[in-house]
Amino acid sequence: MQRRQFLNITLGALALAVVPASVKAEDFRTSKPAVWSAHKMDDAIKAMYGTTTTIEKGVKLSAANVAFDAGTMATAANGGAIPVDFSTKIEAKTIAVFQDSNPESAVCVYEVNKYSVNNYSIKIKMANPGTIKVIVEGTDGKLYSATQKLNVAKGGCEG
């Protein structure tokens, strides 16, 4: 009887160890649907955060493999797969990407925590020249941002 009891306890503990902890993440498409149907970048940002006022610091943005530099306009060779890299060391609650080239402005929103490594690489589509904006909602309640203007080569290649 003791052996059977031991096996039951051991198998029960093993089953608990294998079951993954539940992960809670907010579904912004459900909780903030206006963000995803907004056609203008400012409208999408306001629907997400309640304001469009941001502080332009603390966020690094590189689109089409060209680092952000004030006054620089990069050219993407392929509008169908534009590499966008962004990062921050700001302790954040959310990180969002917006663009003003396509009909809907919102690209993605990440819910993060103090243990997150906030260094991202994504690819987006842009049919026309436009602007990409990354917004970081800090745990201090402030919005930080970086903006990159981008040309999109016609015909799929530069030149």
pLDDT tens readout for residues 65-84: 654 444 567 777 778 889 99
Residue spans of the chain under pLDDT 50: 16, 18-23, 67-70, 156-159
- The structural domain count of the chain equals 1
Q: CA quadruple 63, 66, 69, 71: dihedral positive or negative? A: negative
pTM of the model: 0.77
Structural domain contains residue 18: no
Report the distance separating Cα 54 and Cα 23, nearest Å.
30
Give the CATH number of the domain where residue 124 resides: 2.60.40.2470
The answer as to whether 13 is a domain residue is no
What distance in Å separates the CA atoms of residue 106 and residue 29, rounded to the nearest whole number?
A: 10
Q: How far apart are CA 132 and CA 44, in angstroms?
A: 13
Query: Which domain does 146 fall in, by range?
Result: 25-156
Given a contact cutoff of 8 angstroms between Cβ atoms, the answer to whether 143 and 55 are in contact is yes
Residue 14 domain-assigned (yes or no): no
Q: What is the pLDDT of residue 72?
A: 60
User: What does the block give as tokens for 4?
Assistant: 């059977």
16, part of any domain: no
Residue 101 lies in a domain: yes
Q: With respect to residue 17, please indicate whether it lies within any of the assigned structural domains.
A: no
141: CB partners within 8 A, 6+ apart = none
Residues 88, 68: contact at Cβ < 8 Å? Answer: no
28 Cβ contact list (under 8 Å, min separation 6): 35, 36, 48, 109, 111
Pair of tokens at residue 155: 């015909």
